[in-house]
């Protein structure tokens, strides 16, 4: 069971093939036509929609520390609330390249935008898994 970024790295490093991690950073937002009840729930940290704002791919070695990833994301100027993570397996002892990750990352962004997030690990700003409901 993966419950943190640290657990994810351990699992990725235990795989027989080298991995590339895909990250989609999202900001929680309310639609312009949100009801008073939706606004009240959102103020308590509930509800809203997760909108992708930044995406990136990295090898586990490039992001061995979650706080370094958070700091790198800060440099984009985009605020975020949740990051979704997926992993790609390489082959023949080679991790997938950034070019190979581009199409899966684009598809991941679109899946997240549509609310199809069941295949991804959602993490908060501290690198802890979160339950979305």
48 Rama sector, left if φ>0, alpha if ψ -120 to 50, beta otherwise:
left
For the chain, list residues with pLDDT below 50.
none
SS3 call for 77: coil
State residue 69's pLDDT score.
Answer: 92
- Rounded Cα distance, 133 and 60, in Å: 28
State residue 78's pLDDT score.
Answer: 93
Residue 28's CB is within 10 A of a number of other CB atoms, namely 16
SS3 call for 126: coil
Q: What Å distances lie between residue 59 and 47, 65, 97, CA to CA?
A: 32, 12, 9
State residue 51's pLDDT score.
Answer: 93
**50 neighbors 28 (Cβ within 8 angstroms):** yes
State residue 133's pLDDT score.
Answer: 67
Task: For residue 47, give the nearest of 36, 55, 56, 57 by alpha carbon.
Answer: 36
Q: How confident is the model over 92-125, as pLDDT tens digits? A: 999 999 999 999 999 999 999 998 999 999 999 9
Q: What Å distances lie between residue 31 and 38, 52, 102, 108, 131, CA to CA?
A: 9, 14, 29, 22, 22
In the chain, alpha helices (H): 5-14, 36-43, 66-74, 98-113
For the chain, domain boundaries: 5-123
């Amino acid at each position: 069971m993966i419950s943190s970024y640290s657990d994810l790295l351990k699992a990725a490093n235990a795989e027989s093939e080298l991995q590339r991690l895909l990250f989609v950073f999202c900001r929680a937002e309310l639609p312009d036509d949100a009801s008073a009840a939706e606004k009240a729930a959102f103020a308590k940290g509930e509800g809203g929609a997760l909108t992708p704002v930044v995406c990136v791919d990295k090898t586990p070695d490039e992001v061995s520390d979650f706080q370094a990833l958070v700091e790198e994301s800060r440099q984009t100027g985009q605020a975020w609330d949740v990051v979704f993570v997926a992993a790609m397996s390489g082959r023949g002892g080679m991790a997938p390249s950034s070019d190979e990750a581009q199409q899966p990352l684009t598809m991941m962004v679109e899946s997240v935008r549509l609310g199809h997030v069941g295949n991804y690990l959602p993490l908060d700003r501290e690198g802890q898994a979160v339950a979305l409901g």
